[in-house]
Amino acid sequence: MKQQLMIMLEMQDAMNTRVNPDWRQAGNAWYRAIWTECAEMLDHYGWKWWKHQQPEIEQVQLELVDILHFAMSDYLLQDSDNEAVAVRIADELSHPHDDDDIRRAIETMARTTIEHQSMHFSDFANVMALIEMDFDQLYRTYVGKNVLNFFRQDHGYKDGSYIKLWHGREDNEHLAELLVTLDSASENFRDDVYKGLVARYPG
C-alpha cells in the first residue's frame, strides 16, 4: 500500500504542477473541494425520500476518487516528505470509523472536513468500506482518473476545446470501461491507459 500511495502522491504533485507550477503557494481551499464533492457523492447514492432513487455505486466511487485527489494535495502541503505522507495516509486508512450508514458516513466526512479544514482518511476509509471499494480498486481508479486529467489538459481542457462527450457518453464512462481491460500491476499501466483514451477520443 505504501508504495502505491507514493506513486499516487507523485502523480498528484505532477498533475497539480501541470495545472499551476506554483500550486503549493496558490492557497487553494482543498477542503472546500472535498466537502462539495461529498454532496455530489450523496446525490449519486440517493437520499430523497420523495422519489425513487437507485444508488449509482460506480459514480459514488468516482466521486470518492475525486476527493482523494484533493485530500492528497492537502496532505502534500502539510509535509514535503512524500514517504511520511504515504505512511500517514496508510495509518489513517487502517483505522476506519465504523458508521454503518453510508449517508451518515458521507455527512461525517463533509462535517469534519469543514471543521478542521482538512479531511481525515479514517472517514474516507469508512466510506470506502461501505461501498465495498478495496485499496487495489481505489489505486486503479485513481491512476486512471489522473491519466484522464492529463489527457484532458493535453487536448484543450483549459482553453475549452476539449470534447467531453465521446460518441454520446462522458469520458468518465469510457475510462471505467477501459480500466476493466487493463492490468493495474503492469509497469506500463499509466501509458496503457493514456493510449486507450487516445484510441477512443473522437477529436
Position 49 scores a pLDDT of 92
Position 81 scores a pLDDT of 92
CB atoms closer than 10 angstroms to residue 20: 11
Tallying the residues shown for the chain, one arrives at 203
Between CA 158 and CA 113 the distance in angstroms is 28
Cα first-last separation, the chain: 37
Position 82 scores a pLDDT of 93
**pTM of the entire predicted model:** 0.85
At 103, is the pLDDT very low, low, confident or very high (cuts 50, 70, 90)? very high
Position 59 scores a pLDDT of 85
Classify domain 2-133 at the CATH class level. Answer: mainly alpha
Question: Stretch 154-161: mean pLDDT, rounded?
Answer: 89
Position 172 scores a pLDDT of 85
Position 176 scores a pLDDT of 85
Residues of the chain with CATH 1.10.4010.10: 2-133
Whether pLDDT at 189 is above 80: yes
Q: How far is CA 183 from CA 19, 75, 143, 151, 173, in A?
A: 28, 28, 12, 19, 18
Whether pLDDT at 33 is above 90: yes
Position 95 scores a pLDDT of 94
At 2, is the pLDDT very low, low, confident or very high (cuts 50, 70, 90)? confident
